[in-house]
Amino acid sequence: GENVEQHPSTLSVQEGDSAVIKCTYSDSASNYFPWYKQELGKGPQLIIDIRSNVGEKKDQRIAVTLNKTAKHFSLHITETQPEDSAVYFCAASTGFQKLVFGTGTRLLVSP
């Protein structure tokens, strides 16, 4: 089955810096790659997703890139703000909403 690895497990940056979180997947049939943000005491919430027919997608300060050949995808957050502090999960899916999640990255943005 699908296996998703996520790095780093923790990431500390200064406000205004960029943050990059990387994930690799094992199943070449995976075609959907969402990123979820989990704030303290809340459930994960989708922040951006990308499908296998697209190499990059951007939404304001966040962007996701996908390299199908290497089977890895990354989340990029620019101009980080303290409210970006949270746990971020990547996931991969081959279809029918079956999501396999990475182990999470705790991002801390210091003022």
Interacting residues toward another protein by CB under 8 A: 1, 6, 9, 31-32, 34, 36, 41-46, 49, 51, 89, 93, 95-104
Check: CB of residue 109 under 8 Å from CB of residue 88.
Answer: no
Q: Smallest distance from the beta carbon of 3 to another protein, in angstroms?
A: 11
Q: Smallest distance from the beta carbon of 38 to another protein, in angstroms?
A: 8
Q: Smallest distance from the beta carbon of 16 to another protein, in angstroms?
A: 29
Q: How far apart are CA 15 and CA 42, in angstroms?
A: 23
Q: How far apart are CA 100 and CA 4, in angstroms?
A: 7
Check: CB of residue 13 under 8 Å from CB of residue 88.
Answer: no
Q: Smallest distance from the beta carbon of 27 to another protein, in angstroms?
A: 14
95 vs 111, which CB is nearer to another protein? 95
Q: How far apart are CA 89 and CA 53, in angstroms?
A: 21
41 vs 111, which CB is nearer to another protein? 41
9 vs 18, which CB is nearer to another protein? 9
13 vs 100, which CB is nearer to another protein? 100
Strands 10-14 and 105-110, by their bridges, are parallel
Amino acid identity, residue 20? V
